[in-house]
C-alpha cells in the first residue's frame, strides 16, 4: 500500500495482521468488550489497505468453505424482512458479524507459519492465565472481593465463555506437544505442558458444566481414538470401560440427590409446637418445595425469635435484603436448615460470626464456603434446582431456567415451523410465552441453546442452513485431515447445546478466528504454510 511518498510493504501488513489477531485473542477473555471489536476493525482496515485483491480472490477460490460458513449470516438479514423489532435485528447482526467478516479476512490472508500461529495461542493463553490469577486471588482472599456465587470467581468475564477460551488454548497446546514437538525448544515444550495443566485445572475450578462437559468429551474422544489402535482383546476391554465412563457423573449426581433431596414422611401432630422460650413454631406442612442438606426448610420456624436475635447481631435489618437483594430472613432460614438447626433462639445461638457474615453475603448454605467441596457444592445446587423444579414446575437456577427456555423455544418453533418468527421478534415471542405461562416476562432469552434458538428464529430452513454452514464448510475443506480443525468443530458443536455463540460477541469472535485459522488454510502455489 502507498500513502503519498510512503509505501507500506506486504510484510508490514502481514505483521500488523498477526499483531491485531494476538490483540483480539488476548482481549476476548477480558471485561472490556470494545477492545476485541476495535481489533477486528483494525484488522479489516489493514486487510482493505493491503490490497492484492486478485491474490485474495484466488485464495477465496481455493477455500470455498469460507462462503459456506459466512453464508449463515444471511439468515439474520433475511429474518429481518419479516421482523418488527429492528433494535433486536441490529443487535443480532452486530453480535454475529464476526462469523461473517473473520472467515473472509483470515481465509484470504497469507497463510500463517507455525511460529506465527504459536504467538496467537500464547496470546489467548496469557489472557486466560491472567483471569485465572485474579480468580485464584479472590478464592484465596488475597483480593478483598465478597463472593456469593461461584460464577463470580470469573471476575473479568463469564465463567462459561472463559472455559471455552481455556479449552481452545489447551487443544492447541496439546497439538503442539504431540504433533509439533520438534519445532519447540525445551523451554517452550515445558511451558506448553505447564499451561495445559494450569488451564485444565482452571476449567474445573470455574465449574461451568458446559465447559467441563466439553473438556471431558474431548479427552473421551481422544482416548477412544487411541484405543482403536490397540491390539485385541485389550482394545475391546478399554473401549468397554470408556463407554461406561460417562455414567460415573450421573451416578455421583444421583447419590447427592438421594442423600439431600429425598422426600420423607412424618406425623405433623408429633412436631414440637413451642420453642424453649414458649413461642409457637410455624410448620409449613402443606408444601415441601425446598430442602437443604436433607431437611425441609419450612419446619421449626419462629420468626419472632429469629428477628430479635438477628437484629442484635447484624447491622442489616431482619426484614432487609442480603448482598444479592434477596430477603435476609429467607437466606437465614435456609442457612440454619442446612446446619440442621431449628430456626429459633436456641438454634441461632449456635450461629458464629462467620455464619452471620455468610448470610449477609447471600450464602444460603455453609457448604458453599467450604473450599474442599467446590465441585460437590456445584452438583448439590444442581440437584436442589431439579428438586424444586420437579416440586413446583418453576425454574430455580440457571440450569432449570435453561430447561424452561428450551420448552419456550420449542413452543415458538411449533407455531412457526418453516421460517420462524424472524431475527428481531424472538425476544418478544419468548416474553409472550412466559407471560402466558407465568404472568410475567423473563430476561433469560434464548434458552442458551443455539440449535433451538435458530429453530425458533429461522425455522427448519434456518436450522438446516446452520448445519450446512458448519458441517458443509468442514467437509469441503477436508477438516477431518486437520487435528485442530476437528477439535475446534467439536467444541463449537458442543458449546451450542448450552450457549448461543453465534449471537454473543466474545464466543463468536473466538470461534470464528480459531475455526478459520485451522480450516481455511489451503495455500496458493508457491506459498508456504505449515502442515497439520
73, 97 Cβ separation under 8 angstroms: yes
User: Which range has the worst mean pLDDT, 64-78, 286-300, 328-342, 467-481?
Assistant: 286-300
Residue 186 burial class via C-beta count within 10 angstroms: exposed 0-12, middle 13-18, buried 19 and up: exposed
Q: Hey, what's the torsion of the CAs at 66, 490, 228, 209, to 10 degrees?
A: 170
pLDDT at 349 over 70: yes
Instruction: Decide: pTM greater than 0.75.
Output: yes
Contacts with 249 (C-beta within 8 Å, 6 or more apart), sequence order: none
For 10, the grid coordinates are 506486504
pLDDT band at 357 (very low <50, low <70, confident <90, very high): very high
User: Which range has the worst mean pLDDT, 47-56, 271-280, 372-381, 458-467?
Assistant: 372-381
Contacts with 319 (C-beta within 8 Å, 6 or more apart), sequence order: 307, 327, 328, 329
Q: How high is the pLDDT of residue 375?
A: 67
The pLDDT of 218-226, averaged and rounded, is 86
Separation in Å, CA 209 to CA 159, 301, 366, 382, 425: 10, 35, 22, 10, 30
Helix (H, G, I), strand (E, B) or coil at 178: helix
pLDDT at 249 over 90: no
Q: How high is the pLDDT of residue 529?
A: 57
DSSP state of 368: G
Burial profile 70-81: b = 16 or more Cβ within 10 angstroms, e = fewer? bebbebbeebbe
Q: How many CA atoms lie within 13 A of 201 on its CB side?
A: 11
Q: In this prediction, what percent of the chain has a pLDDT beyond 70? A: 92
pLDDT at 527 over 70: no
Give all strands (DSSP E) within 155-300, no chain letters. 291-292, 295-296
User: Which range has the worst mean pLDDT, 15-24, 62-71, 246-255, 370-379?
Assistant: 370-379
Strand partners, 291: 296
Helix (H, G, I), strand (E, B) or coil at 274: strand
Positive or negative torsion for Cα 315, 319, 320, 323: positive
Query: Angle, nearest 10°, between helix axes 98-108 and 505-519?
Result: 30
The pLDDT of 25-42, averaged and rounded, is 83
Q: How high is the pLDDT of residue 5?
A: 43
Q: How high is the pLDDT of residue 528?
A: 62
46, 17 Cβ separation under 8 angstroms: yes
pLDDT at 354 over 60: yes
CB atoms within 10 A of CB 16: 18
The Cα–Cα gap between 361 and 499 comes to 29
pLDDT tens-digit profile of 455-504? Answer: 999 999 999 999 999 999 999 998 888 888 889 999 999 999 988 888 88
Residue 532 burial class via C-beta count within 10 angstroms: exposed 0-12, middle 13-18, buried 19 and up: middle
pLDDT tens-digit profile of 198-214? Answer: 999 999 888 888 888 89
Q: How high is the pLDDT of residue 526?
A: 67
pLDDT band at 402 (very low <50, low <70, confident <90, very high): confident
User: Which range has the worst mean pLDDT, 43-47, 330-334, 374-378, 416-420?
Assistant: 374-378
pLDDT tens-digit profile of 223-241? Answer: 888 887 777 777 788 888 8
Q: How high is the pLDDT of residue 498?
A: 84
Q: How high is the pLDDT of residue 3?
A: 45
519, 65 Cβ separation under 8 angstroms: yes
pLDDT at 86 over 90: no
The pLDDT of 8-21, averaged and rounded, is 88
Closest CA to 165 of 139, 126, 191, 192: 126
pLDDT at 78 over 80: yes
Q: Which of 267-271, 412-416, 446-450 has the highest mean pLDDT?
A: 412-416
Q: CA 322, 328, 333: angle at the middle one, nearest 5?
A: 135
> Considering the chain, what is the average pLDDT of its residues?
86
Measured in degrees and rounded to the nearest 5, phi and psi for residue 327 equal -60, 130
Top pLDDT among 88 and 44 is at 44
Query: Angle, nearest 10°, between helix axes 505-519 and 86-95?
Result: 40
Closest CA to 207 of 382, 443, 390: 382
Run of H or E residues at 462: helix 450-467
Cis omega (within 30 of 0) for bond into 233: yes
Q: How high is the pLDDT of residue 6?
A: 46
137-141 LR contacts (CB < 8 Å, sep 24+):
139/205, 139/371
Measured in degrees and rounded to the nearest 5, phi and psi for residue 271 equal -70, 140
Q: How high is the pLDDT of residue 316?
A: 93
Top pLDDT among 103 and 83 is at 103
The Cα–Cα gap between 90 and 249 comes to 41
Q: How high is the pLDDT of residue 4?
A: 43
Strand partners, 321: 327
Q: How high is the pLDDT of residue 227?
A: 82
For β-strands 6-7 and 291-292, DSSP reports them as: unpaired
pLDDT at 148 over 70: no
Separation in Å, CA 195 to CA 27, 202, 207: 18, 10, 19
pLDDT at 452 over 90: yes
Helix (H, G, I), strand (E, B) or coil at 3: strand
Go through the chain and tell me how many residues it has.
532
Q: Which of 78-87, 332-341, 417-426, 523-532 has the highest mean pLDDT?
A: 332-341
Q: How high is the pLDDT of residue 34?
A: 79
For 380, the grid coordinates are 448439590
Amino acid at each position: 500500500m502507498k500513502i503519498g511518498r510512503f509505501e507500506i510493504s506486504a510484510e508490514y501488513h502481514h505483521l500488523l495482521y498477526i499483531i491485531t489477531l494476538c490483540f483480539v485473542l488476548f482481549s476476548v477473555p477480558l471485561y472490556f468488550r470494545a477492545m476485541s471489536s476495535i481489533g477486528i476493525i483494525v484488522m479489516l482496515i489493514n486487510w482493505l489497505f493491503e490490497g492484492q485483491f486478485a491474490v485474495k480472490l484466488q485464495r477465496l477460490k481455493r477455500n470455498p468453505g469460507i462462503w459456506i460458513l459466512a453464508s449463515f449470516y444471511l439468515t439474520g438479514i433475511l429474518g429481518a424482512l419479516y421482523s418488527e423489532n429492528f433494535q433486536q435485528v441490529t443487535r443480532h447482526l452486530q453480535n454475529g458479524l464476526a462469523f461473517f467478516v473473520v472467515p473472509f479476512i483470515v481465509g484470504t490472508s497469507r497463510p500463517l507459519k507455525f511460529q506465527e500461529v504459536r504467538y496467537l495461542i500464547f496470546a489467548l493463553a496469557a489472557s486466560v492465565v491472567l483471569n485465572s490469577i485474579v480468580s485464584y486471588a479472590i478464592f484465596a482472599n488475597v483480593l478483598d472481593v465478597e463472593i456469593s456465587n461461584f460464577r463470580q470467581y470469573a471476575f473479568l468475564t463469564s465463567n462459561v465463555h472463559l472455559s471455552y477460551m481455556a479449552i481452545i488454548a489447551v487443544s492447541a497446546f496439546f497439538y503442539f506437544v504431540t504433533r509439533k514437538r520438534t519445532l519447540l525448544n525445551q523451554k517452550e515444550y515445558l511451558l506448553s505442558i505447564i499451561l495445559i495443566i494450569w488451564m485444565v485445572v482452571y476449567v474445573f475450578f470455574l465449574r461451568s458444566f458446559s465447559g467441563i462437559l466439553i473438556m471431558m468429551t474431548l479427552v473421551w474422544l481422544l482416548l477412544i481414538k487411541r484405543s482403536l489402535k490397540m491390539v485385541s482383546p485389550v482394545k475391546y476391554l478399554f473401549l468397554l470401560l470408556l463407554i461406561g465412563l460417562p455414567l460415573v457423573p450421573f451416578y455421583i449426581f444421583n447419590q447427592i440427590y438421594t442423600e439431600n433431596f429425598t422426600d420423607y414422611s412424618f406425623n405433623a401432630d408429633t412436631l414440637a409446637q413451642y420453642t424453649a422460650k414458649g413461642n409457637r413454631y410455624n410448620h409449613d406442612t402443606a408444601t415441601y418445595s425446598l430442602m437443604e442438606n436433607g431437611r425441609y426448610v419450612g419446619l421449626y420456624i419462629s420468626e419472632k425469635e429469629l428477628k430479635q436475635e438477628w437484629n442484635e447481631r447484624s447491622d442489616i435489618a431482619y426484614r432487609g435484603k442480603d448482598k444479592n437483594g434477596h430477603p435476609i430472613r429467607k437466606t437465614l432460614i435456609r442457612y440454619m436448615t442446612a446446619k440442621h438447626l431449628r430456626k429459633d433462639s436456641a438454634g441461632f445461638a449456635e450461629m458464629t460470626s462467620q455464619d452471620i457474615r455468610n448470610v449477609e453475603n447471600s450464602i444460603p448454605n455453609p457448604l458453599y464456603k467450604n473450599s474442599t467441596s467446590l465441585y460437590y457444592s456445584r452438583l448439590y445446587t444442581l440437584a436442589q434446582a431439579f428438586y424444586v423444579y420437579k416440586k413446583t414446575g418453576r425454574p430455580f437456577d440457571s440450569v432449570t431456567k435453561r430447561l424452561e427456555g428450551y420448552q419456550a423455544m420449542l413452543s415458538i418453533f411449533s407455531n412457526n415451523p418453516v421460517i420462524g418468527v424472524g431475527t428481531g421478534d424472538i425476544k418478544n415471542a419468548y416474553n409472550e410465552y412466559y407471560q402466558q405461562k407465568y404472568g410475567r416476562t423473563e430476561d433469560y432469552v434464548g434458552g442458551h441453546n443455539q440449535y433451538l434458538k435458530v429453530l425458533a428464529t429461522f425455522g427448519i430452513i434456518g436450522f438446516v442452513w446452520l448445519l450446512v454452514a458448519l458441517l458443509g464448510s468442514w467437509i469441503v475443506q477436508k477438516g477431518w485431515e486437520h487435528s485442530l480443525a476437528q477439535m475446534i468443530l467439536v467444541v463449537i458443536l458442543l458449546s451450542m447445546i448450552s450457549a448461543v455463540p453465534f449471537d454473543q460477541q466474545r464466543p463468536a469472535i473466538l470461534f470464528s478466528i480459531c475455526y478459520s485459522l485451522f480450516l481455511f488454510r489451503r495455500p496458493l502455489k508457491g506459498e508456504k504454510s505449515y502442515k497439520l
